[in-house]
Amino acid sequence: MVTVPKGGATASDALFATLLACVAVAVAVMWPGVRDLDAAGTLLLVAAHAPLAVMRRWPTPALAALLMLALPYHLAQYQHHALVPAEVVALFAYAVLGRRVRGVLTVAGVVLFVCVIGMALQAGGKSLREQIAVIEAVISVVIAVQVWRVHRARLATITERAERAERTREEEARRRVAEERLRIARDLHDLLAHSITVIGVQAGAAAHLVRGDRPLDREELAEALTSIADTCRDARTELRGTLQVLRGTDVETTGRLPGPDGIADLAQAARAAGVEVDLDDADAGSLPPEVGVAAYRIVQEALTNVVKHAAAERVAVTLSRDGGGLVVRVADDGIGPFRGARGVVPPPESRPSGGTPGGFGILGMIERARSVGGTLDAGPGDGGGFVVTAVLPVADVVSPQ
């Protein structure tokens, strides 16, 4: 039901009902029907307009009151057309404001129809034609208000569907933005964390050479600085390629995405940081671009953790095929990222969420594997150290959303 504010609406409706009643009385006096308008007819005619003043607030009682007053007026054979405007206004207003519109309007139409038929049978002749005209007017109003009601319901349904579709589009856009932000953060973490870690280790080694007690070996220092420069250059190249992908630039013509062929460079950078790396990727074979990037990033992050946290001397990197998938395994002989100062591994619930102290390394590797439909497991090895094992599907690649 439509909620209408009190005060102004009621006063305006009362004024409208008064003016319409005055016009109806004037019409009935100037063009009398079968029976001239007398005091009783005037009272009925004016009283029938009174419910229009409260139609907004109480539509059902107002329509019922109008019908109860209209029936004796028509049966008394007063000027019928004088009351038709009030009846039309009441029916139409109820169609807009009422709740049980169809049933009430049908009852109202039937009552008026029966009333007018009775008057027509009594009068006959010209009056019969007039009563038929009144019947047509009432039926037309009933049909019109039903069409109006159906039209309003259809518009409300269309509007609701449009609003729901708009909300769905906005939610989908927010979801895609969140996924894109996560992907960008993961790419930048994988790239910068590895490069900065390697550069830090190599810079520390160079500083140790300069501050050492033994004579400075220029060739050894130059090799350390060259390794730093190479790492910076590789990081710059990868960062450019990542930015080109984010900007939608054609990578084939302006850069390249990292892949399995770049894992050898990762191993060489780790060797320059003082870790002996055994790389076995002969069985990797040709990989889809999505799987190649995921394998590269997983190895990159795993080697970063080894250099930064494991205090390892040796690490084995293996890429092999197992059925329809690629198995990526990085195993070191260090203390592991979770092992404390006394060599005790804390329980999983007390470990950092990222897999490394204060970081997001292992979590990022898991997301990398899941982005192509794979799985990843990371934890202490059976014989010590730390092992990262990822299984990435090759036959049916699930592209990241």
Which of 167, 198, 226 corresponds to the end of one domain?
167
330, part of any domain: yes
* Domain shared by 137 and 88, yes or no: yes
Which of 109, 139, 167 corresponds to the end of one domain? 167
Q: For residue range 238-281, list pLDDT tens digits in order.
A: 677 666 656 655 444 444 567 788 888 888 888 877 889 999 88
235 and 273 belong to one structural domain: yes
Question: Last residue of some domain: 127, 142, 167?
Answer: 167
314 and 253 inside one domain: yes
How many angstroms separate the Cα of 371 from the Cα of each of 148, 180, 242, 259, 355? 53, 12, 17, 15, 18
Q: Residue 189: which of 252, 235, 136 has the closest Cα?
A: 235
Tell whether 219 and 347 lie within a shared domain: yes
Q: pLDDT value at position 190?
A: 67
Q: 249 and 116, same structural domain?
A: no
Domain membership of residue 386 as a residue range? 172-393
Matching residue, tokens 């770049």 = 262
Q: Which residues of the chain have pLDDT under 50?
A: 1-7, 125, 250-255, 338-359, 397-401
Residue 3 inside a domain? The answer is no
User: How confident is the model over 153-164, as pLDDT tens digits?
Assistant: 788 889 888 888
Q: Examine the domain organization and report whether 148 and 201 are in the same domain.
A: no
CATH number of the domain encompassing residue 354: 3.30.565.10
Whether residue 147 lies inside any domain: the answer is yes
Same domain, 51 and 114: yes
Q: Are 67 and 138 found together in one domain?
A: yes
Q: State whether 70 and 159 are in the same domain.
A: yes
Tokens describing residue 52:
């229009």
Position 390 scores a pLDDT of 92
Does residue 251 sit in the same domain as residue 131? no
- For residue 229, the model assigns a pLDDT of 80
Residues 155 and 210 in one domain: no
Confidence (pLDDT) at 120: 56
State how many domains the chain has. 2
Kindly state whether residues 111 and 187 are assigned to the same domain.
Answer: no
* 398 domain-assigned: no
